[in-house]
Amino acid sequence: MARTRSSITIVGASLAGLWAAETLRREGFEGRISLVGDEAHAPYDRPPLSKKYLAGSVGRERVDLLTPGKAVELGLDLRLGCRATGLDADTHTLEVDGTTESFDGLVVATGTRCRTLPGTSGVAGVHVLRTVEDADAIAAALSSAGRDGARRVVVVGAGFIGAEVASTAVDTGAEVTMVEALDEPFGRVLGVEMGAVLADLHRGHGVELRTGVGVDEVLADGPEGERRVAGLRLVDGSELDCDLVVVGIGVVPNVEWLDDSGLTVDDGVVCDETCLAAPDVVAAGDVARWTNPRYGESMRVEHWDNAVQQGAHAARRLLVADEEAEPFAPVPWFWSDQYDRKLQLAGRIRSEDEVRVVTGSTAEHRFAAFYGSGGRFTAVLGMNRPRHLMQAKTLLDDDASWDEALALATAWE
Amino acid sequence: MRVVVDYDLCESNAICMQIAPEVFEVRDDDFLYVLDESPGEDLRAALEESVQRCPKQAISLKD
């Protein structure tokens, strides 16, 4: 039996929140949908912020996800620039900008925010990249319109946001150094071997990679109140001069507003397999931690595709009775565009996995590689191999074995 | 029903190809090809999902 509700509030007006709203309407929900977001903007798409939007090759209209017309069509009560500051899951009440309101159903989609380097607040020229304002500030600093554009850029953290910013900065003619505290760049996400292939791509474009060395201190010039970055000192004592620092050292979930809410918070909002965090409360997107039954593991996934799929799943969860609820069991998948290469990874790599290049060549940066162990096929990485990647992802979705995966690869050759 | 792809928007992420391989194919040149521009109604649900899940909103359906 489907549930009857008259109002659903979605906290977080970004990709997962918007997908939740759209899904509610597609599924026939006719009640009030309130979409609350603390940013001043209607939902927008973040992947272009480190790539085409940052490079200036697409404008703001290509980043916006919700036109005014679509908001009307969806019948959304769009409340932008409004911050949820408290929740009581038991009484189904929410505090927004200090005012208490009630809901019948709630989607928590408050996302994450970037970690920052200590001692950098108030220092001009040090940025993180999460919001459109962050992207505008970095784009302005990189602007090569005159000689004032940042020519020496340091990216702190060899992760995907940092790698995309590095690639965009290189294209503006900047000298780019990437600093990574771990020995193996990209190793955590891609494994050591494939991480090295991606590092090689960056080096081939002139990026200097400093690995196994963290940042000790940001060096700034100028009087108090007008301090501007001049360089970085690394923990080995070496110094890097620079005009612009972009920090990509991970994110933290936005959960502080849920203190004393009755929800369980542990590096994200803890949900069951169906994305339910408490009766009538679901979570989706970067902020949600749930047990993915496909892997039997608790996970929190920060990919674009997860925000889409989980936003939709969480919305449907609110519309069905408990006994009809389905688990959320996706194969995680993401893409990253760097230089003229498209990286795609589907699946979940395990440390014991062997990795095998099954088509193409890593030296040419055009290949697909399979990961697996114990007869299991766990992940596929593609560099400029979207067709192969999606065919392999279909096998991952079907829990295919390593031998079945290799049979697919044999058919490619 | 006609399938229209805006190639200025398409970035060949190939999600559509996973959802509706009968209609969409990304080939070895990394470009998307529409195999059947006027597919049958039996594919409508898959095509609507392709439209919705395209990260670049590059696909549309015209009746």
- B8-56 pLDDT, tens digit per residue, is 999 999 999 999 999 999 998 889 999 999 999 999 999 999 999 999 9
**pLDDT tens digits, A185-212:** 999 899 999 999 999 999 999 999 999 9
Give pLDDT, residue A4: 73
User: A45: which chain B residues are within 8 Å (Cβ-Cβ)?
Assistant: 55
Closest residue in A to B24 (Cα) is: A387
31-60 of A, contacting B, C-beta below 8 A: 45, 47
User: B11: which chain A residues are within 8 Å (Cβ-Cβ)?
Assistant: 337, 342
User: To the nearest whole angstrom, how far is the Cα of A99 from the nearest Cα of chain B?
Assistant: 35
16-55 of B, contacting A, C-beta below 8 A: 17-18, 25-28, 30, 52-53, 55
User: B28: which chain A residues are within 8 Å (Cβ-Cβ)?
Assistant: 387
Percentage of the residues of chain A whose pLDDT score is greater than 70: 98
Q: Give the span between the Cα atoms of A36 and A81, in whole angstroms.
A: 8
Closest residue in B to A344 (Cα) is: B13
Q: Does A335 touch chain B (CB under 8 A)?
A: yes
User: To the nearest whole angstrom, how far is the Cα of B19 from the nearest Cα of chain A?
Assistant: 9
The helix, strand and coil proportions of chain A, stated in percent and rounded to the nearest 5, come to: 30, 35, 40
Kindly indicate the confidence band of residue A149, based on its pLDDT and cuts at 50, 70 and 90.
low
Of A45, A305, A389, the CB nearest to B14: A389
Give pLDDT, residue A1: 45
Percentage of the residues of chain A whose pLDDT score is greater than 90: 94
Mean local confidence (pLDDT), A109-115: 98
Rounded to the nearest 10 degrees, the angle between the axes of helix A15-26 and helix A304-319 is 40
Give pLDDT, residue A144: 58
Of B14, B30, B55, the CB nearest to A390: B14
User: A22: which chain B residues are within 8 Å (Cβ-Cβ)?
Assistant: 52
Q: Tell me the CA distances in angstroms from A160 to A198, A266, A408, one per residue in order.
A: 10, 24, 28
Cβ count within 10 A of residue A182: 15
Length of chain B (residues): 63
**pLDDT tens digits, A378-411:** 999 999 999 999 999 999 999 999 999 999 999 9
Of B12, B25, B52, the CB nearest to A342: B12
User: B14: which chain A residues are within 8 Å (Cβ-Cβ)?
Assistant: 344, 386-387, 389-390
Per-position b or e across A103-119, b if 16+ CB within 10 A of its CB = bbbbbbbbbbebeebee
User: A335: which chain B residues are within 8 Å (Cβ-Cβ)?
Assistant: 13, 55
Closest residue in A to B33 (Cα) is: A387
Closest residue in A to B18 (Cα) is: A390
Mean local confidence (pLDDT), A13-38: 97
Kindly indicate the confidence band of residue A2, based on its pLDDT and cuts at 50, 70 and 90.
low
Give pLDDT, residue A63: 95
The helix, strand and coil proportions of chain B, stated in percent and rounded to the nearest 5, come to: 30, 20, 50
Q: Quick check: A145 pLDDT over 80?
A: no
Of A62, A387, A391, the CB nearest to B28: A387
Q: Tell me the CA distances in angstroms from A33 to A21, A115, A172, A248, B15, one per residue in order.
A: 7, 32, 43, 34, 29
Q: Quick check: A18 pLDDT over 50?
A: yes
Q: What is the mean pLDDT of chain A?
A: 95
Residue A60 CA, distance from chain mean position: 19
pTM: 0.95
Nearest Cα to Cα of residue A201 among A340, A386, A360, A365: A365
CB–CB contact B13 A342 (8 Å): yes
Give pLDDT, residue A368: 98
Give pLDDT, residue A3: 67
DSSP A400: -
Structure tokens at A141: 């600093």
Q: Give the span between the Cα atoms of A96 and A330, in whole angstroms.
A: 32
**pLDDT tens digits, A316-355:** 999 999 999 999 999 999 999 999 999 999 999 998 999 9
Nearest Cα to Cα of residue A63 among B13, B57, B32: B57
Mean local confidence (pLDDT), A81-89: 98
- To test the contact with chain B by mutation, choose from A49, A313, A390 the residue with the greatest count of B C-beta atoms within 10 A, namely A390
Of A62, A308, A387, the CB nearest to B14: A387
Kindly indicate the confidence band of residue A147, based on its pLDDT and cuts at 50, 70 and 90.
low
Length of chain A (residues): 413
User: To the nearest whole angstrom, how far is the Cα of A342 from the nearest Cα of chain B?
Assistant: 8
Give pLDDT, residue A228: 94
Give pLDDT, residue A146: 46
User: To the nearest whole angstrom, how far is the Cα of A226 from the nearest Cα of chain B?
Assistant: 40
CB–CB contact A384 B30 (8 Å): yes
